[in-house]
Chains A and B, each alone.
Chain A
Amino acid sequence: MSKKQIILGAQFPGVNNFTVWSDPAAGSQIAFSSFRHFAETVERGKFDFIFLAEGLRVREQKGRFHELDVVGRPNTLAILTALASITNHVGLIGTLTTTFNEPYPLARQLATLDILSGGRAGWNVVTSPGAFTGANFRRGDHLPFRERYERARDFLETARSIWQGGDFHVRSPYFDIAGRTGAGPLPQGAPIIAQAGDSDEGRELAASHADLIYSRHGTLEEGQAFYADVKQRLAKYGRSRDALKILPGANFVLGETLEDALEKQKAIRLQQVSPKNAIVFLEQVWNRDLTAYDPDGPLPEVDPDVAVEQLAQGRAARYDNRLETARAWRELAEREKLSIRELIIKVTGRKQFVGTPAQVAEEIDRYVQADAADGFVFAPHLTPGGFDEFVEKVIPILQERKVFRQDYAAPTLRGNLALPQAWQPVAKAV
């Protein structure tokens, strides 16, 4: 049997502590020259797509702006459309919420991106509920939490009917709209749809509607379990196992030798988790002001506060059961004799491929062939040069192994991902 071809996405390093700003090599997070450098590098490396995350409100901690991490980003669709102008092959996937957008304006913008890029547009559909982000938008917090995926599904169906071109008329639980658009049918039929939700509803939406999943299950075992779970959901929607690609988010660290790479990884993790940031992470679970604690000292003996409202705002909430998380962290810290900062470095890491270029290439390939993933969305820790070495050294090895393209085979993102048409347009009313 021939080997699976690896899919590679390139996430522009953004608003979180993984993006190292204190390094002398860290460049502007907003200058167009940074985006240009990034896009040209990954296109030279034949990456499938560039990926941008979204956060529509500046994050806060204890009622103040969070100051420790990179913050500030361009408008997602605008910068992707600008990048479409200076690239020819690489896909352009933006994370955009269904909660603070409406179907006609957003579908029209994605159509514009698909047309101007010649069929390279993609949309990572997220549901971002909440009053915190809603404060920046006309409609405010208009959606009960449990309805966010119902609206997302309805939104996607509505967008599809707009992307067919011509007349659209939708009357559904969430939308009552009509009009006639001159754009469409689109170069790709529809933009590539990605999904990043992890709950049961999120996985179900991916199985019924998405072309890609951006997941946080990057280790071999977790990846395999997630992969199996999601792929088995496809059949009930009449979709083949190849119709949905699974791409965990991951990082990499390259070195001359394994020891060199591990040494670098350690230094990077210390930059990513500064002493103050270690306390901020701990506060997300403890939900108390812990600024009095020593980051290089032991964990607090006091328990998390589960009564009051969350102190951290504007992050994808990840600690549902704070008492349980605190108990597990204490156990781990005691067992391995970890300080607060050492513990946070350990528990907040994402999947990292660490080693020589040959070792990293080999491990990526192994994960993909073992069905832990169909590829990865890599986020480097530096802007804008974070992929320079990867493209120069890792990509050629993947190509030699015949698991990654020598050159783009198709003009569209859908074509390069070797995806079937995600859905059949119904006959267009003339």
Chain B
Amino acid sequence: MTQKSTFLVGFGLHAGAHGDDPDWRGFWSGLIGRLDGAAEFLTLEDRFADPGRDGLDAILLANWLAPRSRDIGIIAGAPLNVLEPFHVSTAIATLDYVSGGRAGLLAQRLDQQRSLDAGRAIGALKGFPAVDPPSLDRDALAAAEVVRRLWDSWEDDAVIRDVVSQRYVDGEKLHYIDFQGADFRVLGPSITPRPPQGQPLVATSWTAEADLALARAADVVFVPAASDLAGIVAKLEGDGPGTGPKVIADLHVKPDVADVADLIAAAKTSETQGARGVRLILTDPHRQIAPVVDTLVPALRTAGLVAQPPGGDLRSRFGLPAARNRYAAAA
């Protein structure tokens, strides 16, 4: 039973999921009302520069959804190759404050076509990567590292409000991150104090074409359930069993959600292959939300796979330890 209680269920959407619905606000506020409390997490992929379908900025949407929800973890997407890691870091830290420790970053490394579209939308700029796969891999890894270091660049007790010494902050507890990568450098520290989780969870989606390094650097990796899950889990555990990121199996839900039995069977198989949970990919949320929340998730629970959503911050739900600060003097 203890094993089963840690099996997680979440939903996968993109930040343009309102589709043709003219009332975008109504769609998203209705959606979060249904999903909150029904599962542990929600991912929002960002469709940056997807021609005509670029939707909303996913991190901002997440910050709008957070005050409208109490429980669900919100993992917001950012195409790291085309954004400033400094802005991404402060925006996810803010999400963590707004949501009370329910924030995560979905680190998106764009594929070739999307990189070309994104490159046209921002222009050719110094400090941004070329669109060949090795450059994109290297850059996504570097940007994710910068985002994480900036979260640690303030120690938790940096703000001292010490009237005697007339100091608000202890400068010894702010740190330059001084990151130097192949394409750019970032000095730091952040302008945003260390977020409640210390390190909001970092997730990424497995793509066969991408370099393993980004997936290994993540806390959570989403992998298609149909693939060789056990093999991928083994690959990610480069430093031995239990050292890799948590693997979550992606299950694609049919538009009419008629495949409940198949999905439960697939979830069970995923579990035996080492997955720590499932992400239900919703491609047509207008139609799918009601049957997914009312039928599919209860059926997964009845099958003994999913416990009631546990409380606590998002890291602890995924079984991640409290994040220590890389810059704090060792205790």
Task: Using CB atoms and an 8 Å cutoff, list the residues of chain A in contact with chain B.
Answer: 21-22, 26, 29-32, 36, 55-58, 64-75, 77-79, 81-82, 84-86, 100-102, 104-105, 108-109, 112-113, 115-116, 118, 135-140, 142, 166, 175-183, 274-277
Contacts and interface: CB of A to CB of B under 8 A. Distances in A.
A140 B192 CA distance: 20
A177 B68 contact: no
B122 A177 contact: yes
A169 to B, nearest CB: 9
Contacts of B100: 32
Contacts of B66: 82, 85
Interface residues of B, number: 68
Contacts of A79: 63, 94, 98
B94 A74 contact: yes
Interface string B66-107: 111000000000000011111100110111011010000000
B327 interface: no
16 contacts: A30-B97, A67-B168, A72-B159, A78-B59, A78-B60, A78-B91, A79-B98, A85-B63, A105-B57, A116-B64, A136-B186, A137-B84, A179-B49, A179-B121, A182-B52, A276-B166
B95 A104 contact: no
Contacts of B188: 136
B171 interface: yes
Interface in B166-211: 166-171, 174, 183-189, 191-193
A177 B123 contact: yes
A178 to B, nearest CB: 5
B127 interface: yes
B75 to A, nearest CB: 15
Given A100-B84, A176-B124, 9 more contacts: A32-B97, A65-B171, A75-B94, A81-B61, A82-B94, A85-B65, A105-B57, A136-B188, A177-B121
Given A65-B174, A73-B192, A78 B95 contact: yes
B187 A113 contact: no
A116 B117 contact: no
A-B complex: 7 closest residue pairs judged by Cβ atoms: A138-B127, A65-B171, A75-B90, A78-B94, A135-B187, A74-B94, A179-B121
A67 B83 contact: no
Contacts of A118: 25
Q: What is the predominant secondary structure among interface residues of chain B facing chain A? A: mixed
A110 B192 CA distance: 20
A142 B124 CA distance: 14
A116 B121 contact: no
Contacts of B56: 112, 115-116, 183
Interface string B2-44: 0000000000000010000000110010000000000000000
B133 interface: no
A29 B193 CA distance: 10
B251 to A, nearest CB: 27
A71 B168 contact: yes
B171 A113 contact: no
B125 interface: yes
B163 interface: yes
A67 B64 contact: no
Interface in B107-160: 117, 120-128, 154, 158-159
A65 B160 CA distance: 14
